Amino acid sequence: MTRDTIPAEELLNKARAVGQYYGFTPLATLTASARGGARAKGGYPDTLALLELDPTAEAVANFLKHCQQAACAPTQRQPLFVWHTNIAQGRPAQKKATIQFHALGSDHAIAEAVIIRAILSLTRDLFHEEPVLRINSMGDKETRARYARELSNFFKKRSGTLPEECVTRSKQDVFLAAEFTIARECAEELPVPTEHLSDASRKRFEDLLEYLEMTETPFELARTLISRGSIWNDTCFEITVGGHRVAWGSRYNDLVRHFFPGTPFSAVGAVFQIGSEGMAKAKSKSSRLRFSFVHIGDEAKRISIQLAEEFRRAHVPLAQDIGVESLTEQLHLAERRGSPYLLIMGRKEALEGSAILRNRKTQEQTTLPLEGLAERLKLFA
């Protein structure tokens, strides 16, 4: 039987570990570093009042509000991969816990791939069973306008055979009407969004599917998984356990512009939600991470996504920044961690099935095979 309530302490510990190994910084760390500076105040932007936010969009909007108040935004050189939760250490758990993983400032498919892998990893740990990933793409504005016209024609032509509620709603919001049609199991002939993708959206979706296939991430193409146009764009996905949705994710480029109007950037995220109970204890002082894993090139990035789970399960004291493409920026972040060892993988090492372990103090280097890498690193830990 699928759990519907999980202790807050367990949720927080699992999320913290997943964030570390997949390269997500806690939002609390970013906001803490911003203390003392000028902070924006207030609630949601006035422009957001015109939008209808579903519960997941509300959670994302709340996350963006915190980012805005702390002036946390990506730069042209470095995207932000951030995780956030409404679980507060030392306080009673909220009735509904949320854990979010976000990539701000990355337009590449690796952002979705890393978020998906992180959420899948968290879900497996919490439910001890294999989750199901369902994925689709609603495309960009050009695609959505085209798809909206197709939906409108669909409801007009089938007004005599579809439930009256669906036809009535189609006159106000064709996307909402499509959701009702799917819920009423009348969607056999519903137009498929991916058949109307623009060239840019098609390329982005194909790139993501390639990442999932290359990293051996099981998924289902879900033609009836759709999202509303005012909040979400391009890829959307859900993760289910025992037939119940536990997480939803999508790009939300239009939503982020309400919070950062002067510096538009791409954004994608996923929200995991579950009932919680108890209290999460204050975090004890953690030991220094021994390894920082840096990588460059698509081949190395794909391998690093797969290795993240191996490192985590072996409890190797390692961190990495999978979504950061620049080697210089990865080295800068590794320097800030102060890890005594660098694990380095470029295209050559990825193709050869190896990685270079460098002692940062002595500059001594050792080439290690990827097979059994986690256990070998323990010898240096």
Domain contains 242:
no
Q: Is residue 206 part of a domain?
A: no
Higher pLDDT, 282 or 279: 279
Q: Check whether residue 37 and residue 165 sit in a common domain.
A: no
Which pLDDT belongs to residue 36? 54
Is the pLDDT confidence value at 40 over 70? no
pLDDT at 37: 52
Do 54 and 156 lie in one domain? The reply is no
11 & 106 share domain: yes
Predicted local distance difference test score (pLDDT) of residue 313: 92
Q: What is the pLDDT of residues 29-38, one digit of tens each?
A: 888 765 555 5
Which one, of 128, 35, 31, 45, lies nearest residue 88 by Cα? 31
* Helix and strand counts by DSSP (H, E) for the chain: 13, 14
231 pLDDT tier (thresholds 50, 70, 90): confident
120 and 253 belong to one structural domain: yes
- What CATH code is carried by the domain that includes residue 309? 3.40.50.800
Which of 176, 177, 141, 133 lies closest to 270, judged by CA? 133
Instruction: Say yes or no: 96 and 146 in one domain.
Output: no
Q: Given this model, what pLDDT does residue 222 score?
A: 93
| Domains contained in the chain, number | 3
Segment 109-121 mean pLDDT: 95
pLDDT recorded at residue 283 = 67
DSSP letters spanning 136-204: EE---HHHHHHHHHHHHHHHHHTTTTS-HHHHHHHTT-HHHHHHHHHHTT--TTPPPGGGG--HHHHHH
Q: Is residue 231 part of a domain?
A: no
* 302/260 same-domain check: no
Is 316 within the bounds of a domain? yes
- Together in a domain, 119 and 157: no
Asked which of 194, 217, 235 is the last residue of a domain, the reply is 194
350-362 residue pLDDT tens? 999 999 999 999 9
3 state DSSP class of 254 = helix
Give dist(CA 177, CA 263) in Å, integer. 34
So what's the pLDDT on residue 93?
Answer: 80
For residues 116 and 253, membership in a common domain is answered with yes
> What is the span of the domain harbouring residue 347?
291-378
- The answer to whether residue 200 sits within a structural domain is no
